[in-house]
Structure 1
Amino acid sequence: MTQVDQERLVPPERLGPTHAFEDFDCGVPSLNEWLKRRAQRNEQEGASRTYVVCSGKQVVGYYCLAAGSVCCLDAPGRVRRNMPDPILVVVIGRLAIHKDWQGQKLGRALIRDAVLRTLNAAEVAGVRAILVHAISEDAKRFYESCGFMESPTNPMTLVVTLRDIKKALDV
Structure 2
Amino acid sequence: MGGLEFAPPRQLEEGDGIENFCCGIEIVDSWANRYAASARRNGTAVVYASFCGACVAGFYSLSSQSIARDSVSGWLSRNAPLQIPVILLGMLGVDKRFQGHGLGHDLLLDAVHRSLAIAGTLGARALVVDPADDKARAFYEKYGFAPLPGTNRMFAKLV
Per the TM superposition, whether the score is higher than 0.5 is yes
What's the CA shift for 1:111? 1.0
Q: Which amino acid aligns with 1:161?
A: K
Amino acid at match of 1:162: L
Give the superposition deviation at 1:116.
1.3
Shift of 1:25: 1.2
Alignment of 1:24-39 (within 5 A): 24-39=21-36
Query: Aligned to 1:62, what secondary structure does the other structure show?
Result: strand
- Is 1:15 equivalent to 2:18 in the alignment? no
Alignment of 1:116 with 2:130, yes or no, is no
1: distance between equivalents of 2:17 and 2:143?
A: 29
The partner residue of 2:153 within 154, 157, 163 is 157
Letter in 2 for 1:35: A
Maintained 8 Å contact 2:27/2:132: no
1:166 maps to which residue? Answer: none
Please give the secondary structure, in 2, of the residue aligned with 1:123: helix
Shift of 1:76: 5.2
Corresponding residue for residue 86 of structure 1? 83
Residue number among 135, 138, 143 corresponding to 1:138 in the alignment: 135
Q: Could you tell me how far apart the structure 2 residues matched to 1:108 and 1:136 are?
A: 17
Residues 92 and 122 (structure 1), Cα distance of their counterparts in 2 relative to 1, 3 Å cut? same
Report if aligned partners of 1:74, 1:152 keep a CA contact under 8 Å in 2.
Answer: no
Pairwise CA RMSD of aligned residues? 1.5
Q: Report the count of equivalent residues.
A: 159
Query: What are the Cα deviations for residues 25-75 of structure 1, in whole angstroms up to 9, with x where unaligned?
Result: 101122112112111111111000000000112101010000001123443
| Unpaired runs of at least 5, structure 2 | none
**Structure 1: stretches of 5+ with no match in the other structure:** 164-171
CA–CA distance in structure 1, aligned partners of residues 63 and 75 of structure 2: 22
The one-letter amino acid paired with 1:160 is A
Is 1:2–2:10 an aligned residue pair?
Answer: no
SS state of the match for residue 10, structure 1? coil
TM-score scaled to structure 1, two decimals?
0.86
Percent of pairs identical after alignment?
32
Where do 4+ consecutive residues of structure 1 move more than 6 Å? none
Counterpart CA distance in 2 for 1:23 and 1:135 is 20
Distance 1:25 1:110 in 2: 16
Please give the TM-score of this superposition, normalised by the length of structure 2. 0.92
SS of 1:153 mapped into structure 2: coil
